[in-house]
């Protein structure tokens, strides 16, 4: 009887502590979920980038969850100092094993805080061009113009140049045009300027420009420079090329083929 009583005396407080630890863990789990949502809502009200809000929400959630786990373990009599030391040692070992992943994580943090691009920006990074549809902690997802989904490790993005194509709102297009030798330069320039100003998506500020850029092997080379809003870029280039072709034809200005001049040596 004494041994049974001693087991009861030991087991009852332990069971109570275990139940309390379980309650603490469950409450911590629920609070961590709420914390994630509250942080994201607070960041959204402050007009903060959505990806940054998700990141900070996740960090807050796991911080609360780890605190709940440590508190629960302390309730059942486990020395939390030792637990923290074990976690630290395990973290170091995992960190050494996952150096690549940690590099991607660090790069993701840099992208989210320094914002070289945000969601919906069209960028060129990591050797690919597309619209940023997700900025994660380890990888960024792009949708390409031909509707392919590309997932790029964040370290590959921050390790090279990042070209943000749409962030400034406008883009300049350049169209190369060659006309036949013997054409009147001023007349050609006037025709090209007229063509460049015709499409409705071409901006008047900055105004289109035409430059005589070179004496080619088969043609006099001009460059037509036009500006548009970023979403209109491809449509604008198409429209300007069509107008250039039509206006040169209407003015009777020849667009030459590549030519090779062959000289025959005189017979001896």
Higher pLDDT residue, 103 or 99? 103
Residue 5, pLDDT > 60, answer no
Provide the token pair at 133: 């549809």
Pinpoint the residues of the chain covered by CATH 2.30.30.60: 116-164
Residue 59: what pLDDT? 76
Residue 207, pLDDT > 80, answer yes
Least confident of 83-87, 91-95, 130-134, 149-153: 91-95
pLDDT, tens digit (0-9, with 9 covering 90-100), for 29-83:
888 888 888 877 877 776 666 666 777 777 788 788 878 877 777 776 666 666 5
Pinpoint the residues of the chain covered by CATH 1.10.287.1260: 2-97
Residue 261: what pLDDT? 67
Calculate what percentage of the chain has a pLDDT beyond 70.
Answer: 78
Domain 2-97 is in which class?
Answer: mainly alpha
Q: Would the pTM count as exceeding 0.75? A: no
Residue 53: what pLDDT? 72
Provide the token pair at 165: 């194509």
Q: Please report how many Cα atoms fall inside a 13 Å half-sphere around the Cα of residue 53, on the Cβ side.
A: 16
Residue 93, pLDDT > 90, answer no
Higher pLDDT residue, 137 or 8? 137
Residue 80: what pLDDT? 60
Give the range with max mean pLDDT: 20-24, 83-87, 91-95, 248-252.
248-252
**Mean pLDDT, rounded, for 246-253:** 94
Residue 99, pLDDT > 60, answer no
Residue 92, pLDDT > 90, answer no
Pinpoint the residues of the chain covered by CATH 3.30.70.100: 170-250
User: What is the C-alpha separation between 74 and 80, in angstroms, rounded?
Assistant: 6
Calculate what percentage of the chain has a pLDDT beyond 90.
Answer: 44
The CATH code belonging to domain 170-250 is 3.30.70.100
Q: What rounded mean pLDDT belongs to the chain?
A: 82
pLDDT, tens digit (0-9, with 9 covering 90-100), for 173-196:
999 999 999 999 999 999 999 999
Residue 98, pLDDT > 50, answer no
pLDDT, tens digit (0-9, with 9 covering 90-100), for 14-34:
667 678 778 877 888 888 888
Residue 96: what pLDDT? 46
The CATH code belonging to domain 116-164 is 2.30.30.60
């Amino acid at each position: 009887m004494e041994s049974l009583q001693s087991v009861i005396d030991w087991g009852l407080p332990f069971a109570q502590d275990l139940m309390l630890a379980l309650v603490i863990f469950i409450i911590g789990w629920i609070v961590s979920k709420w914390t994630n949502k509250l942080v994201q809502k607070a960041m959204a009200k402050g007009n903060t980038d959505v990806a940054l809000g998700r990141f900070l929400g996740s960090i807050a959630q796991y911080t609360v969850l780890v605190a709940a786990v440590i508190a629960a373990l302390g309730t059942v009599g486990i020395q939390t100092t030792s637990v923290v030391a074990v976690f630290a040692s395990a973290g170091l070992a995992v960190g050494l094993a996952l150096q690549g992943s940690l590099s991607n994580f660090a790069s993701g943090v840099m992208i989210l805080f320094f914002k070289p691009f945000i969601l919906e920006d069209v960028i060129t990074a990591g050797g690919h061009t597309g619209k940023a549809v997700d900025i994660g902690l380890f990888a960024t997802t792009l949708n390409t113009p031909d509707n392919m989904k590309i997932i790029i490790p964040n370290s590959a993005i921050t390790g090279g140049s990042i070209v943000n194509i749409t962030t400034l709102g406008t883009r300049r297009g350049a169209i190369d045009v060659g006309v036949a030798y013997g054409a009147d330069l001023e007349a050609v320039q006037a025709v090209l300027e007229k063509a460049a100003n015709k499409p409705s998506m071409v901006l008047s500020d900055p105004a289109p420009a035409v430059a005589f850029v070179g004496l080619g092997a088969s043609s006099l080379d001009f460059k037509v420079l036009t500006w548009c809003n970023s979403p209109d870029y491809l449509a604008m280039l198409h429209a300007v090329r069509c107008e250039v072709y039509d206006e040169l034809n209407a003015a009777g200005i020849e667009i030459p083929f590549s030519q090779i001049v062959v000289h025959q040596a005189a017979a001896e």
